[in-house]
């Protein structure tokens, strides 16, 4: 992928809502993803997940997802294979991607699923490069600062959509960005290559 122009690639902006902050013990309760390209094509993947444990009140206070909302939803083992198939052959994008990628890797290792070693881009790092001087680089604050509307902050699909829009706004700061190869974007943005398996596997 590194030698391919951005115009030929698919990207997947994704977000997980979880029961907590620690992928070794907490669980995913919602997945949201938008797969897109620079031609404007979009495909979506979203859904609530029954984590098999009670959702802590602190998590519910952030994402407004409660036990009653997931009681009749499928478990992660029924959803994750389809999600892996959805994101395959794309560049993964997330805001603070280390969090979501770590949950993805830990979950797949627990379920015995193979994870494609996809290249990962973090919109926090891109935003710090192309929208300098903001007092906060949370997705919500950046979105307000640069005119991205988030209907329901801290819900997976809405945050994934905002992440996609932020990525595209960062690209537009680069002249003739569609002609750049992916490795050129990394260089222009001051980023080093990071991939799922190499950088976010359990224990790293």
Mean pLDDT of the chain: 94
In angstroms, rounded to a whole number, what is the distance separating the alpha carbons of residues 180 and 188? 9
Per cent of the chain over pLDDT 90 is 90
> What is the model's pLDDT at position 150?
80
> What is the bridge-based pairing of β-strands 11-18 and 120-122?
unpaired
How buried is 33 (Cβ within 10 angstroms: 0-12 exposed, 13-18 middle, 19+ buried)? buried
Predicted local distance difference test score (pLDDT) of residue 71: 98
pLDDT score, position 169: 96
Q: What is the rounded average pLDDT of the residues 101-130?
A: 96
| Mean per-residue pLDDT, 111-126 | 96
Which residues constitute the domain of residue 177?
Answer: 6-200
What is the rounded CA–CA span in Å between residue 153 and residue 106? Answer: 25
For 119-159, what is each residue's pLDDT tens digit? Answer: 999 999 999 999 999 999 999 999 999 999 887 777 999 99
pLDDT at 203 over 70: no
Element at 47 (helix H, strand E):
strand 42-48
Answer yes or no: is 62 within a domain: yes
At 149 the pLDDT is 85
Position 178 scores a pLDDT of 84
What digits encode the pLDDT tens for the residues 156-178? 999 999 999 999 999 999 988 98
Residue 1 covered by a domain = no
In this model, does residue 90 exceed pLDDT 50? Answer: yes
In the set 154, 165, 169, 194, the catalytic residue is 154
For 28-69, how does the pLDDT look when each residue is reduced to its tens digit (9 = 90+)?
999 999 999 999 999 999 999 999 999 999 999 999 999 999
Told to judge if 154 belongs to the known catalytic residues of this protein, a careful annotator would answer yes
Of residues 10, 36, 16, the one with CA closest to residue 157: 16
Which residue reads 């979950």 in tokens?
107
- Residue 193, domain CATH: 3.30.420.10
In a domain, 192, yes or no: yes
Q: How many domains does the chain have?
A: 1
The most distant pair of C-alpha atoms in the chain lies apart, rounded to whole Å, by: 49
Kindly report the pTM of this predicted structure: 0.94
């Amino acid at each position: 992928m590194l030698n391919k122009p951005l115009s030929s690639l698919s990207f997947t902006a994704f977000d997980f809502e979880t029961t907590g902050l620690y992928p070794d013990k907490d669980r995913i309760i919602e997945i949201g993803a938008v797969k897109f390209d620079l031609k404007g094509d979009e495909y979506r993947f979203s859904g609530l997940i029954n984590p098999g444990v009670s959702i802590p009140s602190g998590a519910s206070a952030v994402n407004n997802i409660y036990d009653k909302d997931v009681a009749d939803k499928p478990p992660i083992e029924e959803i994750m294979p389809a999600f892996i198939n959805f994101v395959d052959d794309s560049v993964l994008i997330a805001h603070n991607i280390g969090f979501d990628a770590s949950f993805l890797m830990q979950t797949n290792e627990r379920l015995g699923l193979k994870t494609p070693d996809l290249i990962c881009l973090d919109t926090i790092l891109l935003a710090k490069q192309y929208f300098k001087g903001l007092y906060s680089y949370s997705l919500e604050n950046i979105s307000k600062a640069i005119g991205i509307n988030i209907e329901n902050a801290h819900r997976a699909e809405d945050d994934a959509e905002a992440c996609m829009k932020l990525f595209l706004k960062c690209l537009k700061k680069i002249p003739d960005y569609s002609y750049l190869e992916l490795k050129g974007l990394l260089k222009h943005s001051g980023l080093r290559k990071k991939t799922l398996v190499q950088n976010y596997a359990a224990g790293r």
